[in-house]
Amino acid sequence: MVDAGTLATSAQVLLAIGDGASATQILEANTNIWILQAEALIYLETDTDYANATIYAALSANVKQALALCASNKAAMLAINQNQNSWTLATAQSKLNVLDATYKATLKRIKEVDL
């Protein structure tokens, strides 16, 4: 299967989820859905469709990596929220806190730069 999203890959989402991902979270069909949802949320937050091929192509490599970080972290949060049974509650919450902080900081910077 080919990654459905533009801003992040399934591999980047799995790296963001970290150790102990469940079979549901590893399934590429699911990571593709979470990537697309993350891209939609980034669009809503920034009012810019970075996943649009024309807009995306014009971005620098550094900006593309920042968007990948943002999208993969948000997709990982969606994955963890969908199935937290892989970890203790404290571990799941810790993962979500780290991902959320990174997502918000990256998104804030993207909005400040106003690409």
pLDDT band at residue 14 using 50, 70 and 90 as cut-offs: very high
pLDDT band at residue 85 using 50, 70 and 90 as cut-offs: confident
Sign, CA torsion 43/106/66/77: negative
Residue 1 confidence (pLDDT) above 80: no
What's the pLDDT at 10? 94
pLDDT band at residue 110 using 50, 70 and 90 as cut-offs: confident
Residue 114 confidence (pLDDT) above 70: no
Residue 92 CA, distance from chain mean position: 16
Say which residue the tokens 């299967």 belong to.
1
Can you give the length of the chain in residues? 115
Instruction: For 74-112, give the DSSP string.
Output: HHHHHHHHH--TTS-HHHHHHHHHHHHHHHHHHHHHHHH
